[in-house]
Amino acid sequence: MQTKLLVGSSKGLVIYNNFGSELKIISVQFEGLPISMVYVDERTNTWWVAVSHRHWGEKLHRSQDEGNHWQEVEVPNYNNYQYAPGKVASLKKIWMMQHAGVDRPEELWLGTEPGGLFYSNNNGNKFHMVESLWNHPSRQDPKQWFGAGKDYPFIHSIVLDPRDSNHLFVGVSCAGVFETQDGGKNWQAKNTGLVAAYLPNPNAEIGHDPHRILLCPKHPDVLWQQNHCGIFKSTDSGEIWEDISGQSGFPKYGFALAIDEHDPLTAWVVPAHSDEQRIPVDLKVVVCKTTDGGKNWITLSRGLPDSNAFDLVLRHSFVKKGNTLAFGTNNGNLYLSDDEGNSWKVISQNLAMINYLTLA
């Protein structure tokens, strides 16, 4: 079986094929354009791409034939919803798409900036604002929902419980984790145990910065997150988060996270040096892995740059499928491992900034 690696870069969508043997670029789509999101709906093998045009705004495209042909579809519209009193919201960026469950074949969730969650019940032909989250009292409070390195908060993680399509989590930077158990009608903050070191009250209920959230498909009560203030894990469906950052302080900061699909104790991160610098610690690109739920972390570096490297791995640029892991960096470097991260090989050092990776 052939596997494809989709690389969403700042200068186009690069599609690799023959994954596992020799990896080759078979196509470049949207050449020269900034790709802000790539999503493969595994239910129908529909490919989705968001393009952040510098001049023409955010656009959304889908393909039913693995990227050979693309159809532009209508982007979500904020319909004059006010971000703040007197301030009309408009779409800045599409960050995340997630199908709404195998029992809801036409339905999709979409996370956007500023702070929007949208829903489609017709395979993305039209998206509607999820008003319950938009109208959540915390969303309207600039001390609770606020931008992280950007003017506005954004929804970058949408995590579906495979047991129940009414149950999902979203991750907002900055606000934190929110859960719905009724398909999006009501939302509860799920940030207990997280730390927001940049707030006067680091244990505030809302105002957290989860860089990336993932759920273990075979153990859906287990959630992981790489947060601005550490690495956290929950074994009770987000009720309590435990700080599992390295005891020495490494790994701790970073954006990228990958987890094992079956083993609830195994995960990988690509650490970075602090909020202030955002470069590899000691200028060495490494991956850290835990196989005991975060009690211990080992450093994996075989095949990765061991000096003078300035690469940062962004939140959607680290993927895992089976034994294979791949990550791409802001400097256009792409690395792949066929042995769960024990060793790495360079796939390319000539791409543009990598914003998104997806395995199809």
Partner 1 sequence: MARVKFTSALKRFFPTLTEMDISATTVKETLQLLEITHPGILGYLTEENGQLRKHVNIFVKGELIRDRVTLNDAVTAKDELIIFQALSGG
Footprint on this chain of partner 1 (rule: CB under 8 A): 53-57, 59, 72, 75, 77-80, 88, 90-91
What is the spatial distance between Cα 63 and Cα 38, in angstroms, rounded to a whole number? 11
Q: Tell me the two tokens of residue 60.
A: 């959304």
Nearest distance from C-beta of residue 54 to partner 1, angstroms = 5
- Shorter beta-carbon distance to partner 1: residue 77 or 299: 77
Nearest distance from C-beta of residue 70 to partner 1, angstroms = 11
Nearest distance from C-beta of residue 342 to partner 1, angstroms = 37
DSSP assignment of 277-301: H-B-GGG---EEEESSTTS--EEE-
- Shorter beta-carbon distance to partner 1: residue 92 or 315: 92
Nearest distance from C-beta of residue 55 to partner 1, angstroms = 4
Q: Tell me the two tokens of residue 349.
A: 């050092």
- 119 HSE (CA, 13 A, CB side): 18
What is the spatial distance between Cα 329 and Cα 353, in angstroms, rounded to a whole number? 6
- Shorter beta-carbon distance to partner 1: residue 1 or 54: 54
What is the spatial distance between Cα 29 and Cα 247, in angstroms, rounded to a whole number? 43
- Shorter beta-carbon distance to partner 1: residue 13 or 214: 13
Nearest distance from C-beta of residue 62 to partner 1, angstroms = 15
Nearest distance from C-beta of residue 90 to partner 1, angstroms = 5
Nearest distance from C-beta of residue 80 to partner 1, angstroms = 7
- Shorter beta-carbon distance to partner 1: residue 92 or 211: 92
DSSP tag of 83 = E
What is the spatial distance between Cα 37 and Cα 316, in angstroms, rounded to a whole number? 8
DSSP tag of 125 = S
- Shorter beta-carbon distance to partner 1: residue 13 or 360: 13
Nearest distance from C-beta of residue 328 to partner 1, angstroms = 19
What is the spatial distance between Cα 341 and Cα 360, in angstroms, rounded to a whole number? 19
Q: Tell me the two tokens of residue 163.
A: 């047991």
Strand partners, 213: 225
- Sign of torsion over alpha carbons 204, 223, 255, 78: negative
- Shorter beta-carbon distance to partner 1: residue 81 or 198: 81
Residue pointed to by tokens 């690069």: 14
- Shorter beta-carbon distance to partner 1: residue 25 or 75: 75
- β-bridge pairing 128-129 and 154-160: unpaired
End-to-end CA distance of the chain: 11
What is the spatial distance between Cα 2 and Cα 17, in angstroms, rounded to a whole number? 7
- Shorter beta-carbon distance to partner 1: residue 100 or 129: 129
What is the spatial distance between Cα 305 and Cα 227, in angstroms, rounded to a whole number? 24
Nearest distance from C-beta of residue 293 to partner 1, angstroms = 42
The identity of residue 149, as a single letter, is G
